[in-house]
Structure formats: C-alpha cells, structure tokens
Amino acid sequence: MATTLPSRIATALIAPALALGATAGLAAAPASAAVWSSCDQWGSTTLNGYTLYNDIWGSGAGTQCIWADSGTNWGVNANHPNTGGIKAYPNAKKVINKSITSLSSLTSGYNVSVPSSGAYNTSYDIWDTGYKYEIMLWVNKTGAVGPLGSSQGTVSLGGSTWTVYKGNNGSNDVFSFVRSSNSSSGTVNILPILKWIKDTKGWFGNVTIGDLQFGFEITSSSGGLNFTVNSESVSSG
C-alpha cells in the first residue's frame, strides 16, 4: 500500500504528515554530490524518463532525503522512528499507458542495497490509469511489515514464487505478491502476473496500466539508514 498516486488518491491518508515539510531537511544527504537531491516531504524531479519522489506520506514520520545520479540510480537516507505504520515510499515512476492485452511484454530489472535493520520492503507499485487497482510486488522485506489483506496462497509467476494477498484500503483494491525469499537483484517478468490477475483470477478486466513505480516502503529506520537503487530498468512492448 505504497503512495504517490497523484499523491495517493486518498488525501485523508497523508493529511497527518503535512506538518513534516519544515523538518524534512534534517536527514543527511549523500557524501558525494548528486545530480539532484531533496529533503522536502514531496520533493520530486524527472530524470531520463523516470519521475523520482521523496514521498514522506505517513503519520509519525521522521526525516528523509533523496538523491539521484539518474532516474535509475538513486537512494535515500531515512530516519523514521521505530513505530508502526508506513512512513514513506521513496520511488521512481515510469509511465506505461498500455492495456494488458496490448502489451506484448513488460519486464523490469533491479539491483538494490538495503539495510539489515529497520522495517521496510522493497517493492514495485503498479497502478491502472483509473487508480482502482494496485499491484504490489515485494522483492524483499525486513522487520515487522506485512501486506494488506488476506492470503490467497502461493503462485510461481514472472520468474519467482510469491505469496499472494488480496485486500482493499478503502480507496482501491490491492493485490500484493510477496517473494518467497528476499532478493537484492534480479528481473521480474511482470506481464504474466498481470495476466494471471486478469485471466486466471478475474480480479480485474483489461485495464490500462499507468504508473509503474519501484522503491522502498519504509515503516521504521531509526538512527538513519541508507536505501539505494544501484540500477533499474523497465521495458515494455
């Protein structure tokens, strides 16, 4: 249940975080100069076809700064308290704007460096253009975090085995695929996952896929932890 939807469809979910703007500049930026950096709560920029978001949206969040050398090489230093609830979803977004049946392929590669402590997941957050359906693909997770909804069992798709969860956050349906083992690098064949939801389960029809985001859904990172996307690629046909 990550955000940055047009800042997350449900304004009510982000309202408690609006006071963060004045304090979000306290987190540490990377030691080397980046092409772009921001400590603003809603800081964003576009680099080589990807839109980057700092996206500190949750209640009780601490501080976080984002930096980027490109749209596919970026990271954050986040210092969020050791409390429950998602605090932020720093991410890079690629717009697809193709219906499922018109897609001949949709794949993504990733390589990340993540901390061994804290509570977070590294995930894709994929939306239809109407923002009625959210598909999350968790490639790794650490600490006390879990997906929304109830387990629908396991399935092997797109090159990995996942436990599938189905739920609703009050604004949209959420389908979460949690990888059976943590991975810091790999390739996900996303189209078979979308077709499985559409054709095998019937949870949605021939929707148009809009935003494809990849980043870190952070619940806690007390003391300041670094999350880095060393590389990412998104390819569609």
**Segment 7-36, tens digit of pLDDT:** 343 333 333 333 333 333 344 445 457 999
Determine the topology of domain 11-236 in CATH.
Answer: Jelly Rolls (2.60.120)
- Tens-digit pLDDT profile for residues 92-149: 999 999 999 999 999 999 999 999 999 999 999 999 999 999 999 999 999 999 999 9
Instruction: Name the 3-class secondary structure at 42.
Output: coil
- Looking at residue 199, what is its pLDDT? 98
Residue 206 has pLDDT above 60, yes or no: yes
Distances (CA, A) of 122 to 111, 112, 140, 151: 11, 9, 5, 19
44-53 pLDDT per residue, tens: 999 999 999 9
pLDDT at 228: 98
Residue 3's pLDDT band (cuts 50, 70, 90): low
Distance (Å, whole) CA 131 – CA 46: 21
pLDDT in tens, 50-72: 999 999 999 999 999 999 999 99
Give the H or E element holding residue 121: strand 119-128
Both tokens of 236, joined, read: 């569609």
Instruction: Specify the pTM.
Output: 0.88
From CA 108, how far away is CA 235, in angstroms rounded? 6
